[in-house]
Amino acid sequence: MARYGKLLRIDLHSASWMVEPISKRDERKFLGGKGLGTAYLVRELAAGTDPLGPGNKMILAAGPLTGTSAPGSSRFEIVTKSPLTGIYLDCNSGGHFGQELKATGFDMVILEGVSPAPVIVSIRNDSVTFLDASGVWGKNIYETENEVRRMVGDPEARVLSIGPAGENLVKFASLSNDYSRNAARGGGGAVLGSKKVKAIAVRGTRDIPVVNLRAFQETVERAKQIIFNNPWVPDQRRYGTPRAAGPVNENGLMPVDNFRSGKASSVEAINANAFEALTFKRLSCGECPVACSKGYRKNEVRLEGPEYETIALFGPNMGLFDPECIAEINYWCNQYGIDTITAGSLIGAVLETGVVGIPGNTPKHEIVKDTLHAITFRQGTGDILAEGPRIAGRELGIEYFVPEIKGMGFPGYDPRCSHGTALAYMTADRGACHLRAWPLGRELGGTWEEDDLDGRIMFVKEQQDEKAAQESTIVCQFPYGIGLLDPVLAELISLSTGEEWTLDTMKEAGERTWNLARVFNVREGITRGDDYLPGKFSQDGIESGPLKGKVISRGDQDYMLDTYYAYRGWTADGIPTGETLKRLEIEEET
């Protein structure tokens, strides 16, 4: 079966490891990836654990399809407690690290404790080696990745590493693999930095044990045809996520000048065609037929990207419309190991409020680069900004202007643009996030009447469950669409594992996972009061564009939360009821 049924537990303090079985019961209840990692986090972390202390754990998890030939199956999950938000965090990343991790023969790796000195953890099949990282501590991501491969003596090894931001415990530091691939949100890089882990190198030579190989291969081919027949795919393949810039701006959804306006006068200089013209090479994650990533190269600036979120938040959000400047900023975020979304939304706020001024004729993009450097190395005001949007907003007296929920900076869509997007941000398990549910496309397409809030609310709830299942599988949303849209995904899991899965049972596993994450968050002090938009977005209307004047009123937010909680089987304060936990068979986990 396409599971090894075991995890690798690494004690960093004692430089030791042990192998543990993963129960069949857990595999059936939580599927893998996000689900399995969430279950272990909830079980093993005591309430109030310091995210940057020795008690926190970093979980790397593969899914049942990781490492197989299933399209879009190269991703991996990280699960931990976030130093940025103080609550649950999971992220995933593409590239090739996930496949190599799975090929070591483990479905999950748990790092715990703190190393006495900077260390590189090298996993080769069932062997773990601890290497002195003092020679690479302080180095940027690209140099680190190259040097770690040299140190482990294998150019085929895949590397997950942190940059100086992670070392300096910047609370939105990212984890980076394949140079430009990032599990970026929520400060996972700072968690590794607190454990003195500079990098994790993996090299696996195990075969993935697919149960029904012939039928699986036939279904893989059918899955590819489904993907190629999707009318959304050709433009995604050609342009990647920058294709969103034009439509988002045209519809008045673009964050402009720190989410003041919804439409820039023009985004022609930074739209899909502009970045396509600068593309050096088309790139792909492992086993992906879409190949939507774009290779950019100009002098020292080399990266995959920029992606739409980076373009929006380092572009119109702070008045920059030069694609080469945006790419250079993205490059430095990659090198330092910083989440571009939280950095972009935070720096946009400090520029608007004048906390960071623009002296004389200094180009704005140079100010942004200097600010990123100050954040990374905790210099001056950068030391405050490194604490993240919520704490920095309070410390600097600009809390009203900082776009965040639960401490997580806003993605590149103004939530006032749609009630569905607002609710998705409000209720996302890790703080403001656009990747847990995506009702915006259907809202723009006219799926619901303008006053149909209930339809939007139910959609957000259902798609959150489906996305949790998708990220437990774990496959990319771009080839398959957001959520569980075709039974071919369940067939692939069934044929690879020998288990019986349907879209319904996958969705149930996703709902289990979503509720467990909420249990974790409630245990850490999250209440209904944390599930609202910042006051600015219910009081200040969008200043320009087709949605000029629009807000999401506090009354509408209350109605959406009341209805959402009821659909979920939670109390009026957003706490999963005993009946809900029992129905989902997770009461013993709590």
> pLDDT of 121-144, one tens digit each?
999 999 999 999 999 999 999 999
What is the DSSP track for 97-166? HHHHHHHTT-SEEEEES--SS-EEEEEETTEEEEEE-TTTTT--HHHHHHHHHHHHT-TT-EEEE--HHH
Q: What is the pLDDT of residue 414?
A: 97
Q: For 484-513, what is the mean pLDDT?
A: 96
pTM of the model: 0.97
pLDDT above 90 (res 402) = yes
pLDDT above 90 (res 230) = no
pLDDT above 90 (res 359) = no
Count of beta carbons in the 10 Å neighbourhood of residue 47: 9
Give the model's confidence band at 377: pLDDT under 50 very low, under 70 low, under 90 confident, else very high: very high
β-bridge pairing 76-81 and 57-61? antiparallel
Q: At what angle do helices 488-497 and 503-523 cross, to 10 degrees?
A: 90
Residue with tokens 């090299």: 203
Cα 322 to its chain centre, rounded Å, is 26
Asked if residue 469 lies in contact with residue 439, where contact means CB atoms within 8 angstroms, the answer is: no
Kindly state the tokens that stand for 439: 């009702």
Q: What is the pLDDT of residue 198?
A: 98
Give the model's confidence band at 290: pLDDT under 50 very low, under 70 low, under 90 confident, else very high: confident
Q: Please tell me the distance from the alpha carbon of residue 467 to that of residue 477, in angstroms, as a whole number.
A: 8
Q: For 385-391, what is the mean pLDDT?
A: 98
Q: What is the pLDDT of residue 103?
A: 97
pLDDT above 90 (res 2) = no
pLDDT tens-digit map of 548-567: 999 999 999 999 999 999 99
Q: What is the pLDDT of residue 261?
A: 97
Asked if residue 556 lies in contact with residue 448, where contact means CB atoms within 8 angstroms, the answer is: no
Q: What is the pLDDT of residue 445?
A: 87
Q: Please tell me the distance from the alpha carbon of residue 232 to that of residue 249, in angstroms, as a whole number.
A: 19
pLDDT above 80 (res 358) = no
Cβ contacts of residue 309 below 8 Å, gap of 6+?
241, 340, 341, 344, 411, 412, 434
β-bridge pairing 108-112 and 119-124? unpaired
Q: For 438-456, what is the mean pLDDT?
A: 91
Phi, psi of 58 (to 5 degrees): -110, 120
Q: What is the pLDDT of residue 484?
A: 87
Please give the span between the terminal C-alpha atoms of the chain, in angstroms, as a whole number: 30
Q: What is the pLDDT of residue 32?
A: 98
Question: What mean pLDDT, rounded, does the chain reach?
Answer: 96
Q: Please tell me the distance from the alpha carbon of residue 528 to that of residue 571, in angstroms, as a whole number.
A: 10
Kindly state the tokens that stand for 276: 């396509």
Looking from the CA of 444 toward its CB, the CA atoms found within 13 Å total 14
Strand positions, DSSP E, 208-344: 279-283, 293-298, 301-304
Q: What is the pLDDT of residue 70?
A: 96
Domains and CATH numbers, the chain: 6-203 (3.60.9.10)
User: What one-character DSSP code corresponds to residue 185?
Assistant: G
Q: For 241-249, what is the mean pLDDT?
A: 95
